[in-house]
Amino acid sequence: MKNRKIRIFLSPSRQKYNLGIRGSGYTNEMQEMNKLCDEIENILKKYDVILYRNSYETFIEDWSKINHEECIDLHLAIHSNGSYGNWKKGVENWIHDSYSNTYSLAKKIYDEVYSIYPANNNPITNRGIKYANGFLAETNPAYFSFGMNLEVAYHDNLEDAKWIVSNRKDIAKAICKALIDYYQLEKIK
Ligand SMILES: [Zn+2]
């Protein structure tokens, strides 16, 4: 028997100036990642878990405060990616460093999302787990006890951006599958 409910803080990107590539239907990173988080919430609200979420009016210091006050089990930043020259594509999940206790969940989420990624037979898309070593605040243990930053795919790559737009539900399902399994979340009866 679990004596305490798992607490997950969803932190969709606030980068509204990161625009999707023309012709993809991807508006901007903030809007698209919020739509993805809506789908994640739709799934997780059927489970015995306490959900939190950022807002445009709040900042990293606020989320970090909640993290410590509420003893958040997982701080999950959800972003789309961009690259100079728009040539990169694929999935990444960022954690603090290679010794982080976040590795196994990060890998699980990565594997689930990558398994439904269409070009997953192309090694350049298999970007894997990345280590921020303090460079990303949302993976940094100084701010968040258990944080990671998923980069779903590239908003400046046409195939990637189109994939996110048209597979939001499935991407949410893949992320939730990893969370439900890792935390052994039970359905609310
Ligand atoms: Zn981003």
| pLDDT tens digits, one per residue of 15-60 | 999 999 999 999 999 999 999 999 999 999 999 999 999 999 999 9
Position with higher pLDDT, 84 vs 5: 5
How far, in Å, is the centroid of ligand 1 from the Cα of 151?
A: 7
Structural domain includes residue 129: yes
How far, in Å, is the centroid of ligand 1 from the Cα of 92?
A: 12
Check residue 187 and report its DSSP letter: B
Label residue 138 by pLDDT band (50, 70, 90). Answer: very high
Structural domain includes residue 36: yes
How far, in Å, is the centroid of ligand 1 from the Cα of 78?
A: 8
pLDDT at 2: 56
How far, in Å, is the centroid of ligand 1 from the Cα of 3?
A: 35
Comparing CA positions, the residue from 105, 182, 110 lying closest to residue 153 is: 110
Structural domain includes residue 1: no
Q: Containing domain of residue 78, as a range?
A: 6-183
How far, in Å, is the centroid of ligand 1 from the Cα of 48?
A: 29
Angle between helices 168-183 and 158-166 (to 10 degrees): 70
The dihedrals phi and psi of 152, each to the nearest 5 degrees, come to: -60, -50
How far, in Å, is the centroid of ligand 1 from the Cα of 67?
A: 20
Contact 36, 172 (CB under 8 A): yes
Q: What percent of the chain has pLDDT over 90?
A: 95
Tally of domains within the chain: 1
Check residue 21 and report its DSSP letter: P
Average pLDDT of 81-97? 94
How far, in Å, is the centroid of ligand 1 from the Cα of 188?
A: 33
Label residue 86 by pLDDT band (50, 70, 90). Answer: confident
> Is the model's pLDDT at 100 over the cut of 80?
yes
Output the domain CATH number for residue 87.
3.40.630.40
How high does pLDDT run on average in the chain? Answer: 96
Q: Which residues surround ligand 1, an ion (CB under 5 A)?
A: 13, 15, 79
How far, in Å, is the centroid of ligand 1 from the Cα of 63?
A: 17
How far, in Å, is the centroid of ligand 1 from the Cα of 82?
A: 8
Structural domain includes residue 188: no
Average pLDDT of 151-161? 97
Burial class (CB in 10 A: 0-12, 13-18, 19+), 103: middle
Structural domain includes residue 189: no
Structural domain includes residue 62: yes
Label residue 174 by pLDDT band (50, 70, 90). Answer: very high
Structural domain includes residue 81: yes
3-state secondary structure of 78: strand
